[in-house]
């Protein structure tokens, strides 16, 4: 826990990963770099390994005032989930006492180079120039190459592909239900498995599949609500209007106007029937 000062690059503003953080959080570079300063300064004061027990992505959002910064840092590979909290990726390379020592050494080497010009040897004809690097510079370059090579080999050794028979563990399913209750954990796990099974090369190898699963769940879009169709929509009924139907009222009025036949009309009907029978 070194304290006092931290090492930050002067070209962070133009770093593509900072631009990615701005896109994911919908914030400007000033707000994002300010959030990074708080995270790295806090880590420099509270950890030597880069592991921050108890710290969560939500806490990072709250502390920095940048919504979504914690998850965005996981997305660009600067932060990772850890069983105790979160872990700053590459912390010992850029922060902490050892990183400061390396930074001070590099500064002394730069000062040494500035005070001691490169040796230039001119040949017999006056135009053949050779440049010899200083001993500290050659030593630092060799150490840097060795460390980078060792770090890459270590990362590759730890990384692995998702097993072909992978199935969603109960603990992972329970976490997904608590984090995103609107998602279907089984369907989400099937998409997760198919995606990483088809991912070729080193991009399909991960050192922490649980952290990869958590980031996958966090980045899932909420399911769209199902719109009712004609088959599922309830039938539309029209309530009857109050009062009597006009056609029925007309029939009743006509019935009320009908009168029984008179005696004369009945006699005429009987005469007609008799004549019809006689003719037959």
pLDDT in tens, 229-253: 666 666 666 665 666 677 777 777 7
What stretches of 54-171 adopt beta strand conformation (E)? 79-82, 85-88, 119-122, 129-132, 160-161
pLDDT confidence of residue 183: 94
263 is written with which tokens? Answer: 């005696």
d(CA 154, CA 165): 26
d(CA 100, CA 5): 9
* Contact between residue 1 and residue 45 where contact means Cβ atoms under 8 Å apart: yes
Check residue 260 and give its pLDDT.
75
Give residue limits of the domains in the chain: 12-96, 117-121+130-158, 161-218
Give the residue-averaged pLDDT of 204-226: 91
Is the sign of the CA dihedral 22, 25, 27, 31 positive or negative?
negative
What's the mean pLDDT in 49-72?
92
Instruction: Please give the pLDDT value at position 97.
Output: 61
> pLDDT exceeding 90 applies to what percent of the chain?
40
Provide the 3-class DSSP secondary structure of residue 160: strand
Pick 135 or 273 by higher pLDDT.
273
pTM: 0.37
| Mean confidence (pLDDT) of the chain | 80
pLDDT of residue 1: 45
Residue, of 126 and 231, whose pLDDT is higher: 231
| Residue among 40, 54, 134 nearest 90 (CA) | 40
Cα distance between residue 120 and residue 248, in whole Å = 119
Residue 166 clears pLDDT 70, i.e. is over it: yes
46 vs 99, residue with greater confidence: 46
Q: Round to whole Å and give the CA distance between 87 and 50.
A: 5
- The top-scoring range by mean pLDDT among 10-14, 141-145, 151-155, 164-168 is 164-168
Q: Please compute the mean of the pLDDT values over residues 31-52 and round it to a whole number.
A: 88
Distance between CA atoms of 39 and 10, rounded to whole angstroms? 17
Residue 57, pLDDT above cutoff 60:
yes
pLDDT interval class at 187 (50, 70, 90)? very high
Does the pLDDT of residue 48 top 90, yes or no? no
Q: What is the pLDDT of residue 49?
A: 82
The distance of Cα 279 from the centroid of its chain, to the nearest Å, equals 102
HSE-CB at 183 with a 13 A cutoff on CA atoms is 23
CB neighbourhood size of 278 (10 A):
7
Per-residue pLDDT band for 119 (boundaries 50, 70, 90) equals very low
Average pLDDT over residues 202-206: 91
Residues 13, 37 contacting (CB under 8 angstroms):
no
Counting Cα atoms < 13 Å in the Cβ hemisphere of 56 gives 5
Contacts of 273 by beta carbon, 8 Å cutoff, 6+ apart: none
Number of H helices, E strands in the chain: 12, 7
């Amino acid at each position: 826990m070194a304290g006092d000062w931290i090492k930050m690059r002067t070209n962070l503003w133009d770093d593509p990963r900072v631009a990615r953080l701005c896109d994911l959080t919908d914030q400007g570079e000033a707000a994002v770099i300010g959030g990074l300063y708080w995270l790295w300064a806090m880590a420099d004061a509270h950890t030597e390994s880069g592991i921050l027990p108890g710290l969560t992505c939500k806490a990072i959002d709250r502390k920095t005032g940048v919504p979504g910064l914690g998850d965005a840092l996981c997305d660009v590979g600067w932060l990772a989930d850890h069983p105790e909290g979160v872990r700053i990726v590459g912390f010992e390379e850029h922060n902490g006492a050892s990183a400061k020592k390396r930074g001070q050494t590099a500064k002394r080497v730069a000062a040494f180079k500035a005070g001691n010009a490169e040796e230039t040897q001119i040949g017999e004809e006056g135009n053949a120039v050779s440049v010899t690097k200083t001993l500290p510079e050659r030593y630092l370059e060799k150490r840097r190459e060795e460390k980078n090579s060792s770090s890459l080999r270590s990362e590759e050794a730890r990384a692995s592909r998702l097993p072909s028979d992978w199935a969603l563990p109960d603990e992972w399913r329970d976490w997904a239900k608590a984090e995103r209750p609107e998602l279907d954990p089984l369907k989400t796990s099937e998409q997760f498995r198919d995606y990483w099974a088809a991912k070729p090369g080193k991009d399909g190898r991960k050192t922490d599949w649980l952290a990869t699963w958590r980031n996958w769940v966090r980045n899932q879009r909420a399911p769209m609500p199902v719109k009712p169709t004609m088959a599922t929509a309830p039938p539309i009924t029209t309530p009857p209007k109050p009062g009597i139907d006009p056609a029925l009222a007309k029939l009743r009025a006509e019935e009320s106007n009908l009168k029984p036949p008179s005696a004369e009309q009945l006699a005429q009907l009987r005469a007609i029937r008799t004549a019809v029978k006689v003719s037959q």
